[in-house]
Chains A and B, each alone.
Chain A
Amino acid sequence: MVTLNSINKSYPVGKSNYLHVLKGIDLVIDKGELVSIMGPSGSGKSTLLNILGILDSYDDGEYILEDVVMKNLSEKQSAFYRNKFLGFVFQSFNLLPFKNAMENVALPLYYQKVGRKDRNRIALNYLDKFGLKDWATHMPNELSGGQKQRVAIARAMINKPSVILADEPTGALDSHTSEEVMQIFRDVNKEGTTVIIVTHDREVSGRTDRVISLRDGIIEHSGNAELNKEIA
């Protein structure tokens, strides 16, 4: 479960000014939810995602992930929690170009000190699950965009995270492939993993269960996707 209590975050601008990006975010995302975070650029959605992903710190408030308060963590601790609780999917896939699909998927297990044979075997299972078993030994540049994103999702899933964080996961894909990828997220979600997708694409948010709209650092609206459409 993800709980945010009045999260504030400012960035210094110049020497004395601050840009107040998040102005008291309160948010609860239950286990097994499929949520999208929407908002125009500058609304703070990327910052929110970074905080949710323990990639960035916050100034005050409280972020509780799986009953652990994520505050004042050392680099080592945040790396540990990222690896334990979270899976990341990026817009530009961020696969390591010199590792094949299987090795890319296996990477999070490397940092859990799982042996090479074991982690490659597990990685192969995940690739199989996403229909990419035959592509296991291919390098990222030999894969299509959709395939790359499926590899990235497999990589995000391999450490059995409680939350998947996806930053514009369909931003680099055509609409047909986007559809496929969203279906995968829905499948993953059905198996019990919480999925949080940051997007500005209404097609994408329309396929999630709840849409959180962000504007100027505050949650403007949070609710069921259909309802959102009506309001818009």
Chain B
Amino acid sequence: MIDIDKWKEILLTLSKNKLRTALTMFGVFWGIFMLVIMLGAGNGLQNGVMYEMAGVATNSFWMWGSRTTVPYKGLKPGRFIRFNNDDTKAILENVKELKHFSPCNQLGGYQGTNIVARKNNSGTFNVMGLYPEIRYIESVGIDAGRFLNEKDISDNRKVAIIGQKVRDILFTPDEDPIGDAIKINGVYFKVVGVSNPGKRKGNSADEEREKIFIPISTFQQAFNYGDKVGWYAATAKDGYSASIVEEKIKAILKKRHKVAEEDQNAIGSYNSEENYLETLSIFTGIKSFVGIVGFLTLLAGSIGIANIMLIIVKERTKEIGVRKALGARPSNIIAMVLQESVLLTIISGFFGLVLGIMLLDTVSFAMSGMSDNSDVPFRNPEISSAIAIGALIILIITGIIAGLIPASIAAKIKPVSALSAE
């Protein structure tokens, strides 16, 4: 194959037939170009969604009380299940598979907001009562000061960690919020830290910046929540499935609150593991679909090449006849057609690959200026080098297959009939 002379001969033939060469090349160029673009776009979509999902542990789950739907031990359905501190204790005692766990309360209920004031400034924020471990479940970072600790909980300390936006609204840039006081529902709290959204991106990061974290014990006492708990957030230990741990906790809670085992609605839950796996499987589906479409486009391209090579062979009947009369063996003719087809496929495919990757890079570059909070779930369209190399291998095989039929037809051309074809 490393016969430079032979390749010069092929290049010469191709360069002397520019239109034919260009036409042949376009099909494969387009096929591989589309394959790259579609696979890249698929990856971009996945990257975008994964980016949005980042920051939430993939083995975490949330659980909240809801209404019962099944009568149980003389209790009517429609009862509202409320978690309490004893539930928390029971869970912590009985479920050893938990890595992080936090009971949660929000002032004003789930997604409720409250006016928080400091000196002459005030704003509407989400006030959360939590355990310190929440920072590992929902990815909370610290900009200044500290986060909640065990002592805050056990001593019912009136301390608060405020989000970045809370700080920006309640404090001027030259003021240090640490050690200062804010007033929530008439109760003063001492600011001990400023949080940031950690790995969270997009909308969920914005929400995080508007939060105020206080110890759940203080929360219950200060805002008259008694021993009520709004919901639980947790992650499973490594090696344990979040779904299984979730079921175990649900069973404990159902027993404690006299809920029928088969009642699916009394305790609501959201499991990021399930969500994550579901999203992953959707993308596996999208990617295989895109791959199939791209591959079929490539196939169409190679059928195009085979077609054009057939026409070329027909058009070159006389030339092939002459070559045979001058001593070309059938293998020479087959090699000639095959090599031309493979060379065309590889060169045009390579251009398709390079141009496709360049387009993806351009899009990637244009989007790099996009803010972190953009809602467009599309990011870093790219294809892996393994796919790129795989595509090149497919191209070579495609070129050979596309050339095979025309080549064998060319090899069968009789020099006599070729010479008489005027």
Q: State the A residues within 8 Å of B (CB).
A: 50, 53, 55-56, 75-76, 79-80, 82-84, 88, 90, 92, 94, 96, 98-99, 103, 107-108, 110-112, 115-116, 155, 159, 167
Residue from A50, A92, A155 in contact with B422 in the complex, judged by beta carbons closer than 8 Å: A92
Q: State the B residues within 8 Å of A (CB).
A: 5, 8-9, 12-13, 16-17, 318-319, 321-332, 411, 414-416, 419, 422
Q: Which A residues touch B319, using CB under 8 A?
A: 96
Residue from A55, A75, A92, A103 in contact with B325 in the complex, judged by beta carbons closer than 8 Å: A55
Closest B residue by C-beta to A156: B326
Closest A residue by C-beta to B411: A75
Residue from B13, B321, B327, B419 in contact with A108 in the complex, judged by beta carbons closer than 8 Å: B327
- Contacting pair A115 B416 (CB below 8 A): no
Tell me the bound Cα distance from A112 to B414 in angstroms: 20
Chain A-chain B contacts (Cβ-Cβ < 8 Å), number: 67
Closest Cβ–Cβ distance, residue B318 to chain A (whole Å): 7
Q: Which A residues touch B8, using CB under 8 A?
A: 116
Q: Which B residues touch A82, using CB under 8 A?
A: 324-327
Tell me the bound Cα distance from A41 to B107 in angstroms: 109
Tell me the bound Cα distance from A83 to B332 in angstroms: 13
Closest Cβ–Cβ distance, residue A228 to chain B (whole Å): 28
Tell me the bound Cα distance from A223 to B323 in angstroms: 34
- Contacting pair A55 B327 (CB below 8 A): no
- Contacting pair B327 A76 (CB below 8 A): no
Tell me the bound Cα distance from A75 to B419 in angstroms: 17
Closest Cβ–Cβ distance, residue A40 to chain B (whole Å): 18
- Contacting pair A98 B326 (CB below 8 A): no
Closest Cβ–Cβ distance, residue A197 to chain B (whole Å): 16
Contacts A56-B416, A94-B419, A116-B8; A108 near B326 (Cβ below 8 A):
yes
Residue from A80, A92, A115, A116 in contact with B327 in the complex, judged by beta carbons closer than 8 Å: A80
Q: Which A residues touch B318, using CB under 8 A?
A: 94
6 closest A-B pairs (Cβ-Cβ)? A83-B327, A98-B16, A111-B327, A79-B329, A108-B326, A94-B322
Q: Which B residues touch A84, using CB under 8 A?
A: 327
Tell me the bound Cα distance from A75 to B329 in angstroms: 7
Given contacts A94-B321, A94-B322, A103-B12, list 12 more A-B pairs with CB under 8 A: A55-B419, A75-B411, A79-B327, A82-B324, A84-B327, A92-B422, A96-B319, A108-B327, A111-B326, A111-B329, A116-B8, A167-B419
Contacts A55-B416, A90-B419; A110 near B9 (Cβ below 8 A):
yes
Contacts A55-B415, A90-B419, A94-B322; A111 near B5 (Cβ below 8 A):
no
Tell me the bound Cα distance from A121 to B97 in angstroms: 85
Closest Cβ–Cβ distance, residue A213 to chain B (whole Å): 23
Residue from B5, B13, B326, B330 in contact with A75 in the complex, judged by beta carbons closer than 8 Å: B330
